[in-house]
Amino acid sequence: MDTLNALLSGFAVALSLQNLLLGFVGVTLGTAVGVLPGVGPALTVALLLPATASFDPTGALIMFAGIYYGAMFGGSTTSILLNTPGESSTIVTAMEGNLMAKRGRAGPALATSAIGSFVAGTIATLLLTFVSPLAVDVALKFGPTEYFAVMVLAFVTVSAVLGASPARGLASLFLGLTIGLIGLDSQTGQARFTLGIPELLDGLDVVVVAVGLFAVGETLYVATYLNRSTDTVERMKGSIWMSKDDWKRSWKPWLRGTALGFPFGCIPAGGAEIPTFLSYAAEKKLSKHPEEFGQGAIEGVAGPEAANNASASGTLMPLLTLGLPTTATAAIILAAFQQYGLQPGPLLFDTQPELIWGLIASMYIGNVILLALNLPLVGLWVKLLTIPRPLLYAGILIFATLGAYGLRNSWFDLALLYGIGVIGFVMRRYDIPVAPVLVGMILGPLAEQQFRRALAISQGDLAIFVTQPISGAVLAVTALVVVVPPVWRRIARMRAAAIGHHNPA
C-alpha cells in the first residue's frame, strides 16, 4: 500500500505541466536520436548536461530518462528501414526486421516493434515500481564493507563485459579511477595529480569529462570513419497495421522478451545486447515457423525489441537503489544526479521521494506517449535520416563547446573538453570502451571513502572484506566473473580441438 501511495504521489509530480512537457521533450528527443545512427542516448544526455544545470532536478531527470528509453523505441526504426542499428541493442532487430521490410512488410515489423516496446516497457516499469522498495530495504542493511564490495563488482563487470576485451575495459577503468583521484584528498587536504595547476585542485568536472568523451570523441570518430557510408532506406509498402496472425505470433515473444530483458538490465553490465540475442535464439527454437528465420520472421523482431526495452527500465533499478550504473547511459544519468548534488541510493528514496517516484511515474506516461509518437509518425522520423551528416556533427560540436564553456566561463574547461574529446576519439578508434572511464571517475572516490571507513571500523584489518558474509559473497562473485569466462573459453577451444582431432576429415 505504501508503494501504491508513493506511486500516486509520483504521478502528481509527473503530471505537472512543466514535468509533463519535459517528459514529452525527452521521449521525442530520444526517438530522434535513436533513429539517427551514431547519435545515441549517452551522447545526447551528455550534451544536455551543461544546458540543464539550472533546471529543477526532477524535471531534468525525467527528461533524461525519457531520452534513454525513447532511444530504445527509435533505434528499431533505423534497424528495420535502413538495416543500420541506431543502437547496439537493436542489431538483432535489424537482422529480421530489415528482411521483413524488403519483403514489403515494414509496417507490421515497425508495429510489432512499437507495441512490443510499449508492453515490455510498461511491465518492466511495474516490476521497477514494486521490486525497488524491496531492494532498498536490503541496501539499507549495507555498511561500508558491503558497499565497497558491490562497487568492486560494478567496476569489474562493467570493465570486463563492455568492449572487445577485459584488458581494454580494465585499462579504461583505471584511467577513470586516476581521473577521479585528481584534486584535494578529502581527508588529508593534500593535492593529488594536480601538476601544480590551480584549476585542478577542485578535480575535473564530471560534466566536462562526460561531454568530452561521449559528445566530442564520438562525433570526431563518426565524422572521421563513418561519413562515407551510403544508406538505403527501405520504402514503406502495404498496411502499417498487424494482421490477426501477426498478433498471434507476437504476444508470446513480447512476454518472453520482457522476462529476459528486465533481469539482465538489473545486473551490472548485463545491458541490452545479451538478452536481445538470447530472446532471438529462444524465439527461433520455439517458433512454429523456424524456416522463416533468416528471411524475415516477425517473432525475431517482437522478442528482441521487448527484451531491449525491458532492460532499459531494469537498468534504472541498480542506479536508483544502489547508485550503480550498469550501462554507458546510466553512467551519464549518474553524472546528472551528481550535477545536482544528489547521490542515488537507498537514502534517496527517503530524502527525495518526490524525485524518485515522479521519475518512475513519468516512465508509465512516457511509454504511452512513445506508442502514440512512433507508429503514426514513422514517416517523419525517416525524414531525419536525410539531414546531412556534416551539419549534424558540426551542430553537436558547437552545442558541446557552448555548453562546456557556459558552465564556469572558463577557457580551461574548454581546453579540457577537447583534450578529453581527443582521448575519447583515440579510445573509440582502438575499440576501448569509454563508459568504464566515467564509472571509475564517479564511483572511484566513493569506493575510496567506503574503503577507508571499513578499515577504520576494523582498525586496519583487511580481512573484514572477506569475513563479512555479504561482502565476502559479493567479492567471490566478482572473482568468478573474472576467472570463469576465460576458463570456459579455454575448455571450449580444447573440446573443439579434440573433436577436430577425432574427425580429421
Q: pLDDT per residue over 242-255, tens digit each?
A: 888 888 998 999 99
Q: Does pLDDT of 157 surpass 80?
A: no
User: Could you read off the pLDDT of 447-493 as tens digits, one per residue?
Assistant: 898 899 999 998 888 888 888 888 899 899 888 877 877 787 778 77
Cα gap 157→170, rounded to integer Å: 10
List C-alpha distances in Å: 27 to 22, 58, 495: 9, 15, 48
CA nearest 280: which of 91, 146, 48, 15? 91
User: Could you read off the pLDDT of 104-115 as tens digits, one per residue?
Assistant: 888 888 888 889
Span 295-320, mean pLDDT?
87
Span 166-191, mean pLDDT?
87
Q: Does pLDDT of 38 surpass 80?
A: no
Sorting pLDDT into bands at 50, 70 and 90, what band is 13? very high
User: Could you read off the pLDDT of 395-443 as tens digits, one per residue?
Assistant: 888 888 888 887 778 888 889 999 999 999 999 888 888 888 888 888 8
User: Could you read off the pLDDT of 252-285 as tens digits, one per residue?
Assistant: 999 999 998 888 888 765 667 778 888 888 888 8
- Cβ(152)–Cβ(475) below 8 Å: yes
Span 139-167, mean pLDDT?
80
Cα gap 330→187, rounded to integer Å: 29
pLDDT reported for residue 85:
65
Cα gap 270→274, rounded to integer Å: 7
pLDDT reported for residue 15:
92
Cα dihedral 330/336/339/344 (nearest 10): -50
Select the more confidently predicted residue: 84 or 379: 379
pLDDT-above-70 percentage for the chain? 92
List C-alpha distances in Å: 342 to 108, 207, 329, 346: 43, 14, 17, 12
Cα gap 242→303, rounded to integer Å: 15
Select the more confidently predicted residue: 124 or 52: 124
User: Could you read off the pLDDT of 67-79 as tens digits, one per residue?
Assistant: 888 887 777 887 7
Beta bridge partners of 191: 184
DSSP state of 234: P
pLDDT reported for residue 110:
87
Sorting pLDDT into bands at 50, 70 and 90, what band is 348? confident
Span 182-207, mean pLDDT?
85
Beta bridge partners of 183: 192
Q: Burial of 411 by CB count in 10 Å (0-12 exposed, 13-18 middle, 19+ buried)?
A: exposed
Cα gap 12→366, rounded to integer Å: 15
Span 15-36, mean pLDDT?
88
pLDDT reported for residue 88:
65
The sign one gets for the Cα dihedral 121, 123, 124, 126 is positive
* Stretch among 59-63, 82-86, 223-227, 501-505 having the lowest mean pLDDT: 501-505
**Cell 560494478 -> residue:** 154
Span 117-141, mean pLDDT?
89
Span 284-303, mean pLDDT?
85
CA nearest 416: which of 210, 223, 177, 220? 210
- Cβ(89)–Cβ(271) below 8 Å: yes
Q: Does pLDDT of 504 surpass 60?
A: no
For residue 195 the three cell numbers come to 601538476
Q: What is the mean pLDDT of the chain?
A: 84
- Cβ(206)–Cβ(441) below 8 Å: yes
pLDDT reported for residue 333:
86
Span 196-200, mean pLDDT?
85
